[in-house]
Structure 1
Amino acid sequence: MNTTEKKKLLIFVAVAYGMAYVMSALMFIGFKKGYDLTAFVNTMMLYPACGVILGKLICKKEDEKLPMFGYITVIVTCAIMVVMSICSLFIHFEPSKNGTDFWASLSSVPLIIGSIVAYVAFWACGKEKRINAGVQRSNFGWCILWAFITVILLFGRVFLSVFATDLFAHNHDGWNMLKGVLVSPSFWIGFIFLPFNFFLSWLAFFGEEYGWRYYLQPVMQRKMGKRLAVIVLGVVWALWHLGADFMYYTTKDGPQAMVAQIITCIAFAVFFGFLYMKTENIWLLAFAHFANNNLTALFAGGGSQAIQNQSIAWSQLPIQALSFIIFILFILAPIYSNKKKEKAE
C-alpha cells in the first residue's frame, strides 16, 4: 500500500468510524432522555461513503475525472442530516399519534432529495467519471437476476428462522405469526412499493455499501485474501454499529444485540462480497442492503418503530446463526478462491 492509499484509508477510518462514535456519544444524550434516535441511525449510514469520497477528493490526481456534483450531493446531504440529528437533542417534539418521530420524518426529506439529485448526477456525469468513481452500471442483466435471487433468499432466511424457532420451542407460534403477516394487505402493499421506495432512499444504503464493499473489501482482500477478508470485514462492520446496538435496536440487551450484529454482518459480508465480486455493480449492493432492511421491518410489522427497542435473548442467537447459513455458504463459491487474480480497484 503506497502513501496515497494509506492516506485514503486513514481518511476513511477517521470519517466512517470517527463520525459514528462521536455521534454515538451525542446519541447518548437522547438515549438518556428517552428520545427517538432514528435520525441519528439513518444519518450514520452515509458516513462510510463520505469517508471514501473525501479520500478521493483530497488525494485526487490532477487529471483524474470524478463525478464532483454527485459527490458533493452526498456530502451535503450527510451534513444536513447531521445538523438535524443534533437539533433533535435540543428541540424536542412529542411523537405523532401513530408514533412517528418529527425529526425522523424531517431527516428523510434531505435523504429523498439527495437520492434523486445524486442519482441524476451519477447518471449524467459520463462513463469515464462513473468508472473512476465505481458507480458504473456493469453487468446489468446479471444484477437483475441477482436482485431477484437476493429477495428470494431473504424470504428463505425468515422461513428458516421461523421453522427452527418452532422446532426448538415445540409449538407453532412463529408460523402462526408469519401466516398473519403474509395474509396482511399492508405487507404486500409495502412489498410492491419497495422498488419505488428504493429510488427515494437508495443514497443511505449506497452510503454503507460504497464504504464497505466498493472501498474497504478490496483493500482488505489484497492484504488477507478473499475469504478471511470478508469475515474480518463483517466483524469490523458490526463493531461500527455499536451505538445503534446499545441505544436503538435494543435498550436493555446490548451485549446480545452486538453478538447478533456480528453474526448478521459476517453473513452479509460474505454474501454481499460475493455479489460485488460477481457483478462489480455497487447499485446491486445498495438494493440488496435496502431489501434486507426493509423486508426485516415489514416482517416485523411496520417501519423503523418495529426494529427499535427489541428484546433479544441469548437463546435466540444460535437460531439466528442457523438462519443465516444460506448466506454464509456463499463463502464456498469458486470466486472466493485466492487463486483467482484480484481486479484492480
Structure 2
Amino acid sequence: MQSQNTLITGGAGFIGSNFVRHWQQKSATLIVLDALTYAGNRATLSDLEGQKGFHFVEGDICEAQLVAHLLATHAIDTIVHFAAESHVDRSISGPAAFIQTNVVGTFTLLEAFRHHWEAQGKPEHFRFLHVSTDEVFGSLGSEDPAFSETTPYAPNSPYSASKAGSDHLVRAYFHTYGLPTLITNCSNNYGPYQFPEKLIPLMCVNILLGKPLPVYGDGQNIRDWLHVKDHCRAIERVLLQARPGETYNIGGNNQVKNIEIVEQLCDLMDSDAAELPVTPARQLITFVRDRPGHDRRYAMDISKIQQDLGWQPQYDFATGLKQTVAWYLANRRWWQPLLSSEYQGYYEALYGDRG
C-alpha cells in the first residue's frame, strides 16, 4: 500500500508536524487540516507551504461538510488522525473541549471517510490511522508488566477517557462497516516543535528564563519516552504494512522517572546553554502539589510491532534528550512567541497555588 493523497489532521501540532515532514515526499498530495488552537502553530510548516502537492487548511475536524469536501476534492485515500486535545491538566480544568474534539471530532472524520470510501467502491488500499495514547490503559504499579495491545482500558483522566472513547469508535467502524482502520497507541513523545506546556519543553524554557521548575508530587512518576522521529517511522510502517483492523503499541523502551528527566535537563542546560539566569539549574526544581488522578507509571510492550512489522526505536534517550535541548536552544524564535498572555495565565492558574 502506498498513499497517493493523504489528509493529516492536527498537522500543525507537535507529533503531526513532525510526521508531515516525514511523509511529505511519500504522498503525491498532502492536505493538513488544523484548527490552530493554542498548540497548533502554522509557522512550524511555513517552509513547506507553496511546495507542490502540499496544502494547509485551517479548520475543525468537527466540521462535517468541510471534511467531506476535502476528501472528495483531493481524492483522499489515507487519513492520519493526530488532531486532539492532549494535555491532562487542561482536561481536568476544562473537559468539554476534550469530548468535543477527541470523541465528536473522531466520529465526524470516521463518518465522512466511510461515506467517501463507500462512494469510491470500498477500495482496498484506503486507510484511516488513528493515533492514540498509552494513557487509555490507566496506571501501572512498579512491578506490573508493560501495557500490551490486549491490556484492558482503564482511563483515569478526562483526556485519557476521551481518547479511549475515540479508540473504541475507530475499532467499531472496522468491525461494523469494514472500514480499513488502524490504531496506534504511543508512549510519551519528545523532540522538536513540542508546545512548552509538556514536561521537557516546559523545563527547557523555564531554565532559560530562570523560572521555577514545577515537579508534581514526589517526582517518582515513570513514563516511557519515545523520540518523535521514531514514532513517525513506526506510523509509516503501520500504514504501509499492517492489516486493517490492527492495533499497535509504540514505545521507546525508555522508562524514566520525572525527577530524573528534570535533573538531566538541568545538567544539559548548565553544560550547553550560555549565561543562564540561575546556575546550577537544579536550584530551580520546585516540588508542587500533585495533579488529581496522576497515573504512577506507564510502560509499553512493543513486541507486536517488532515481530509483525520489524520496527524498533533507534534513539537512545540520552542522545535524543541532548539533541532536543540543542533544538530548543537554537530555536528561541519558534517558542518565544508561544509564551502569550493566555499561556502565562494558564501557567499561573495551574502552578501558582500548588506550592
Superposition TM-score, scaled by structure 1 size: 0.31
Query: TM (normalized to structure 2)?
Result: 0.30
**Larger RCO (CA within 8 A; separation ≥ 6):** 1
The structure where helix makes up a greater share of residues is 1
